[in-house]
Structure 1
Amino acid sequence: MSWFRALKESSRSGLTLERKRLEPLIALRGAAGLGITIWLSLWALGPEAAASSAFGAFQAAIATFQRSWRPRPELALVSGATLAVSTFLGYLTIPWLPLFLALLALWTFVAGLSWAVGPTAGLIASSNVAMMLVTVTLPTSVADAAVHAATMVAGGLVQAALIVLVPVRRWRAHRDVLADALAAEAGYARRLREDPVAPFDPAPLMEARDASALTRRQARRRPAGLRGTRGVAERIRPVLASLADPAVGVPPEGPARDRARELLGAAADVLDATAEAVRDGTPVDLPPAAVAAFRTPDTGSILRGAPYRAAVRLGRLLQDVVEAAGGEPSAGPRPTGHLRRPSLLALVPVAARAMGDELHRSSPISRHAVRVTVVACLGYLLGTALPFGHGYWAPLAAVMIMRPDFSQTYSRAVARFAGTVVGVAAATGVLQVAGPDPEVSGVLAVLSAALNYLVLRTGQFAVQMCTSAYVVFLLGMGGQQWTQTVPERVLLTLLGGVLAMVAYAVYPAWETPRLRDRLADWLAAQGRYAAAVLRHYAEPSGEAVADVREALLTARAARAGWHAAVARAAGEPVRHRGLSRAAADDAEDALIRTGRVAMLLEAHLPDRGAAPVPAAVGLADALHTATETGARAVRERRVPHWTAVRAALEDPGWAATGDEVLREGGRLLLRHLTELSEALDPVVPPTTTGGGQDGPRRPKGPGAGGRR
């Protein structure tokens, strides 16, 4: 993609308003917390302290809107407290420019590294640095700075208290994400009726798992309908695929296929009903026709072998997921365990480790931290040197704009400048016409913040417009005239945006050259997952095995990393370096099919006490070694070979294996790994990659399990 096109696409995305569900009650609660904070501060301490407390309360509410499964009061408290510390230390050093620049550099570098912990931590840290640049100018003495810092903490406390006292569907986000996962499986079941090898994006299940990690306080208060449902839902997907698959399930046509389609449709109806109940917190209302489809005795006379076992297992799992979601009480024990989310104190060493792991030159997070630190310090120096006054607007804009990837940085720069101009102009017009006193300016600031909270998820342009108006009204409440803020803010915001855009062009962290590394990580993870499954055919231990689950989660994370990298690379003005878009698409399809075969094998894991298949160990070892070696070949721009896997499949012990599902799975694994090699080097002859022994490749398209 050329620079011109990349800039045009980034600008368009930044100025686009997205139609997403608004949250008026939560916005009203955040605005109420802000209003209470401003009113109390005005009454007790005066306009300047009220402005500081308003910044603390505003930031605390913004933090609670971020995509995080941690309790919202904790986010509000952390945001207010960290802003208070930043402001107090900043005020102590601001009389000495070199010392303040050193503090600004340290704070900004840590904020840049905090993106390694997650987007919520990165955004809160970046926002605190930006707000610190404004709030350090409000106090007039050390004691005054301490008071201002205390009011910021108080603002966070007010927002946290309102979240506890006025809960708005406290578990709504958790319910929604679990319901989305169930609905995604229902849609998958319906697609399998028409396309028996349809792909499935595990992202909804991954997000549901992330949401199910709870703190101790959350675990004590979690609704019963959210306990155990996700774990059962995870086990349903491979069973759906194994029932529909023509290789290990029912034939492509005939009575068995018709029966499988009926069961898949019934499963989709049950999953949809369960998703609706989970989302609304109501009892599950099952469609009678779907229940009848699983209770009919005809299934045993139509389906045989592996398809029959899959149908029986599917019916049992659907009953379990309905019971877990709040249907009829289960005769057995209900699941009570949960994934543990560390407390804030326990998270400190985890965060420090994550940030330390990024301290190397090739890390995008580390390069972002360096970029934003240099731009913030340079912007502050330029803003101070220019005759506009209030030079903090340039570094403030740069810190809020810059993100670790190219497209977000550039789109935010355009949206921020456009929103700033509109917001400042509108707020300035109101101040000029009305000339309000501090109390009225405070009311206007609260109204601007309320609108900001309401449109927070609709796009950067709308958010920045409201934020700009909020800051103008707030500084007006603190005694700064509009002539002191508007002209320089527009120009200095433009300066900050230009610095941010130039910094990424001069010191980039392109994702495109790293696509091969991401693909290699995914290949190695898929190999470990398939090998873990195969080993349990040699040592049967039942359905739920920890090592298989761990390998599956690693493979999912690698797949998600690949997709995120491809999405970022698509908007970069960089030519491909060793991996064209066509090759990336074909390689992705091959690895998706490889993972699907491993999932089918997992769905048919033998029960504890079943006859072991010793030859499965040889194939597992060969597959693990070959995929690790193949991953190194992908990184080094070589074509991976699968000689060891082929040799294991040609072993007499493997040929004597009586498990039809296992034999077919091994053959498909080699076939799809061969497709991966062909995708990375289409001119390689079949004798090199083994394509000639596995038959022709499947055509592209939905029916081949291609890209979503």
Structure 2
Amino acid sequence: MSWSAALGATVKAGLHLDRRLTSPKRALRGAVAVAVVVFPALALAGPAAATSAAMGAFIAGTATFQRSFRPRVSLAVAAGIGLGVSTFLGYLAVGVPGAFPVLLAVWAFGAGMAWSIGPSSGVVAANTLSVMLVVVQLPVSVPTALGHGLLCALGGAVQALVVTVWPMDSWRAQRDALADTYASLADYARRLRQDPTAHVDPEPFILARQAATLTPWQARHRPPELAGLRGIAERVRPALAALADPKVGAPEEGPQRDRAREVLAASAEALDSLARAIRHAEPLRATRSAPALTLLAPEETAEARLTGPARRAARRLITLLRRAADTFDKQDQETVSTPTVGPGLRRPPLFRLVPTAWQAVRRQLQPRSAVFQHAVRLAGVVTVAYLTAKLLGLHHGYWAPMTAAMVMRPDFAQTYSRGFARLAGTVVGVALSTAVVQALHPGQWLSVALAVVCIGGAYLTLRTGYALMTACVSSYVVFLLGIQLGEPYRTAVDRVGLTLVGGVVALLAYALFPTWQTARLAERLAEWLAAAGRYAGAVLGVFGEPARRGSGEVRKALLDSREARSELLQAIERADAEPVRHSAHSPELSRKQIDRARAAVGLLGRSVVLLEAHLPEADAAPVPGAAEFAEELRYATAIAAAALLVGQEVDFEGLRKAHRQWEEQLAAAGAEGDAVRVARAGGRLVMQAVGDLEKAVRRRGPVPSGA
């Protein structure tokens, strides 16, 4: 994509407005919490204290709107503590010549590295940086600095208190994540009717697992209908794939394929019904096609009945759907048995996550890391913008570094779309709020009231678009700082100009020192290939040694493979928006090769999903040679992933030899049975996948024999 096309796309994305609004009640609750802090602070301690308290309450409230599955109370408290510390240190440093720019650079670097913990941490950390710039203007004494820091922390504490006494939609994020998983499965079932080799989106499953990881408090208060359903959804996915696949499920054509399509359609309706019931906490409604979920209906002919592995997959699918319905329906506790699907997932308290967070940051402390490069870029831009404003003697110079801090993100698309949106939103917000100030000449109390109204508007438009939300935030800041003496018109002009300066500096900095996802696609592909190979080896290993079924190895490998695939898909999505040609940064693999290789690794993963749907019981007879082939598969995919990373040829000749030996061993042993047939069919699909991968990434030489 050219630079002009990329800039046009990011401008369009940044200025796009949706019709979605945040829950008005939640927006009102956040604004009320700010009002509870700022009005008493203004009455008791004056404008400066009110500014600190309002900033703390606003940013802490913003943290409660982030996409997180932690209790909102803990998010508000954590944000308040971070704001209090940043404000206290900022006030101390501003009184020491040369100390504040150093602190600013260090804090900006830390805010950038916070993205290694997660997006929510990165956003909140950037907000603490902006608050430090806004409230820290004049040197004060240590007690006064401590007072301002405590006021910021108090804002977070009040937000937490209001969330506690005024709860609403406490489990909305968890419900939506679980409902999205079932809705995704319903869509997957419908696509399988037409395309038996379709892939399922891994993102809903990843989010559902994160949502099901609970703190001890959440585990005690979770709605009972949310327990157990995620584990069932995990097992529905391979059952759907195994029923639809023509190699290990229903035949490609004929009455059995028609019957399989009926079961898939009925399953999709049942899954949609479950998704609606979970999302809205309403009773489960029976589906119109429920009779199709009966394998031995009297009107069925013997020819139309599913047989063999397809029949077992359908039985397993129907059993899981009925179990999910029974799990959700808690009205008759005597007849409903909630299945136990593994141990509960536990989320430790925030203070216990400090070592884990530090380890995540340490892993990213390397020059090649995108997060590290973002942190260095953020620290440099914010510090340079601050010093430039100081050298020019601009009174409101903090707007330039504040804009840079709020705009910059680790990837191109977010940085540029947010940059253009913030520039437009700031100009509109400052212009409108300044016009109101000029027309009404509001006093301190009315200015604070208008600021609280703008905060409510910012919370309400969080999902509408960054430009509109920025307009509300800019108006809020203008009204809040308007309670102090100054010239409104001159101040507005300075703020708009400095916002333009900060935004342009941030965008230029990213253009000069970019972090292109395009250059990392081969690395993400290699990580997914290695993870998919471990998953395949774990599943095939169970066929060779059925006693390993309950070891948890398959589950862990599946999660790793799913996470690696999701990271590759996200990298591809970001790379598509970048103004850079792939060949300029990764000459070994073209974008077309990466797309073909992604399809091949996807076939490998799908083959293993089919095998997982037919895992033998722990006391079943082992499939001869499956364990040895599984070990060779792990080794071959790991070596291939390393070859992708270093730009060498990918060669699966050793794996082909191992597969031929396995086939010969099965033939010599005369092994029979459904497990053997499924394992052999899965093994052939695996070999087809690695052959496709070999062709996709081949750089020179003839096609290997047997591919």
TM-score normalised by the shorter chain: which range applies? over 0.9
For 1:438, the equivalent position in structure 2 comes to: 444
Which of 620, 634, 645 matches 2:644? 634
Task: Indicate the larger mover: 501-510 or 49-58.
Answer: 501-510
For 1:570, the equivalent position in structure 2 comes to: 576
Task: Indicate the larger mover: 113-122 or 12-21.
Answer: 12-21
Structure 1's 442 and 462: CA in aligned 2 closer, same or farther, altered over 3 A?
same
What amino acid is the match of 2:678?
Answer: V
Task: Indicate the larger mover: 448-457 or 290-299.
Answer: 290-299
Question: C-alpha displacement at 1:8, in angstroms?
Answer: 2.0
> Which TM-score applies when normalising by structure 1?
0.94
Question: C-alpha displacement at 1:105, in angstroms?
Answer: 1.4
Whole-angstrom distance in 1 between the partners of 2:420 and 2:336 = 59
The answer on whether the counterparts of 2:650 and 2:698 sit within 8 Å (CA) in structure 1 is no
Whole-angstrom distance in 1 between the partners of 2:296 and 2:31 = 56
Which of 577, 590, 603 matches 2:600? 590
Whole-angstrom distance in 2 between the partners of 1:685 and 1:414 = 50
Structure 1's 666 and 36: CA in aligned 2 closer, same or farther, altered over 3 A?
same
Whole-angstrom distance in 1 between the partners of 2:683 and 2:84 = 60
Whole-angstrom distance in 2 between the partners of 1:456 and 1:114 = 21
Establish whether residue 679 from structure 1 lines up as the match of residue 679 from structure 2: no
What amino acid is the match of 2:310?
Answer: P
Question: C-alpha displacement at 1:182, in angstroms?
Answer: 0.5
Whole-angstrom distance in 2 between the partners of 1:360 and 1:99 = 26
Q: Matched residue of 1:340: which SS?
A: coil
The answer on whether the counterparts of 1:213 and 1:339 sit within 8 Å (CA) in structure 2 is yes
Establish whether residue 407 from structure 1 lines up as the match of residue 419 from structure 2: no
Q: Matched residue of 1:339: which SS?
A: coil
Structure 1's 350 and 598: CA in aligned 2 closer, same or farther, altered over 3 A?
same
Which of 313, 316, 333 matches 2:316? 313
**Structure 2 residues without counterparts, runs of 5 or longer:** none
For 2:93, the equivalent position in structure 1 comes to: 93
Task: Indicate the larger mover: 571-580 or 373-382.
Answer: 571-580
Question: C-alpha displacement at 1:291, in angstroms?
Answer: 4.6
Q: Matched residue of 1:391: which SS?
A: coil
The answer on whether the counterparts of 1:383 and 1:393 sit within 8 Å (CA) in structure 2 is no
For 1:269, the equivalent position in structure 2 comes to: 269
Whole-angstrom distance in 2 between the partners of 1:188 and 1:311 = 15
Establish whether residue 358 from structure 1 lines up as the match of residue 374 from structure 2: no
Establish whether residue 667 from structure 1 lines up as the match of residue 670 from structure 2: no
What amino acid is the match of 1:589?
Answer: A
The answer on whether the counterparts of 1:300 and 1:308 sit within 8 Å (CA) in structure 2 is no
What amino acid is the match of 2:191?
Answer: R
Task: Indicate the larger mover: 475-484 or 411-420.
Answer: 475-484
Question: C-alpha displacement at 1:297, in angstroms?
Answer: 4.4
Task: Indicate the larger mover: 52-61 or 248-257.
Answer: 248-257
For 1:529, the equivalent position in structure 2 comes to: 535
Q: Matched residue of 2:111: which SS?
A: helix
The answer on whether the counterparts of 2:18 and 2:464 sit within 8 Å (CA) in structure 1 is yes
Task: Indicate the larger mover: 348-357 or 3-12.
Answer: 3-12
Identity of aligned residues (%): 46
Establish whether residue 649 from structure 1 lines up as the match of residue 659 from structure 2: yes
CA deviation digits over 1:151-181, x for unaligned, max 9? Answer: 2222111111111111111111111111111
What amino acid is the match of 2:706?
Answer: G
Question: C-alpha displacement at 1:544, in angstroms?
Answer: 5.2
Whole-angstrom distance in 2 between the partners of 1:636 and 1:352 = 29
Question: C-alpha displacement at 1:344, in angstroms?
Answer: 0.7
Whole-angstrom distance in 2 between the partners of 1:543 and 1:262 = 31
Whole-angstrom distance in 2 between the partners of 1:338 and 1:684 = 51
Whole-angstrom distance in 1 between the partners of 2:40 and 2:705 = 74
The answer on whether the counterparts of 1:273 and 1:285 sit within 8 Å (CA) in structure 2 is yes
Question: C-alpha displacement at 1:311, in angstroms?
Answer: 1.5
CA deviation digits over 1:80-109, x for unaligned, max 9? Answer: 221111111111110224211111111111
Establish whether residue 338 from structure 1 lines up as the match of residue 354 from structure 2: no
Q: Matched residue of 1:640: which SS?
A: coil
Whole-angstrom distance in 2 between the partners of 1:689 and 1:381 = 64
CA deviation digits over 1:499-539, x for unaligned, max 9? Answer: 21222222222121211111111111111100000000011
**Structure 1 residues without counterparts, runs of 5 or longer:** 692-708
For 1:81, the equivalent position in structure 2 comes to: 81
Whole-angstrom distance in 2 between the partners of 1:689 and 1:223 = 57
Whole-angstrom distance in 2 between the partners of 1:194 and 1:570 = 28
Whole-angstrom distance in 1 between the partners of 2:401 and 2:457 = 25
Whole-angstrom distance in 2 between the partners of 1:631 and 1:77 = 43
Whole-angstrom distance in 2 between the partners of 1:628 and 1:601 = 20
Establish whether residue 324 from structure 1 lines up as the match of residue 327 from structure 2: yes
Whole-angstrom distance in 1 between the partners of 2:548 and 2:367 = 45
What amino acid is the match of 2:644?
Answer: V
Within 5 Å, give how 1:282-321 maps onto structure 2: 282-287=282-287, 289-291=289-291, 293-294=293-294, 296-297=296-297, 301=302, 302-321=305-324
Within 5 Å, give how 1:419-498 maps onto structure 2: 419-483=425-489, 485-498=491-504
Task: Indicate the larger mover: 99-108 or 213-222.
Answer: 99-108
Q: Matched residue of 2:482: which SS?
A: helix
The answer on whether the counterparts of 2:327 and 2:338 sit within 8 Å (CA) in structure 1 is no
For 1:241, the equivalent position in structure 2 comes to: 241
Task: Indicate the larger mover: 550-559 or 386-395.
Answer: 386-395
Establish whether residue 375 from structure 1 lines up as the match of residue 375 from structure 2: no
Question: C-alpha displacement at 1:63, in angstroms?
Answer: 0.7
The answer on whether the counterparts of 2:21 and 2:462 sit within 8 Å (CA) in structure 1 is no
RMSD, matched Cα: 1.9
What amino acid is the match of 1:211?
Answer: A
For 1:705, the equivalent position in structure 2 comes to: none
Task: Indicate the larger mover: 336-345 or 299-308.
Answer: 299-308
Whole-angstrom distance in 2 between the partners of 1:90 and 1:653 = 72
For 1:11, the equivalent position in structure 2 comes to: 11
CA deviation digits over 1:622-676, x for unaligned, max 9? Answer: 1111101111111222331211221122112144543111111111111111111
Question: C-alpha displacement at 1:338, in angstroms?
Answer: 2.2
Aligned length: 690
> Which TM-score applies when normalising by structure 2?
0.94
Question: C-alpha displacement at 1:422, in angstroms?
Answer: 0.7
What amino acid is the match of 2:272?
Answer: D
Q: Matched residue of 1:477: which SS?
A: coil
Structure 1's 663 and 27: CA in aligned 2 closer, same or farther, altered over 3 A?
same
Q: Matched residue of 1:207: which SS?
A: helix
For 1:250, the equivalent position in structure 2 comes to: 250
CA deviation digits over 1:402-459, x for unaligned, max 9? Answer: 1111121122221111111110000000001100001100111011111111111222
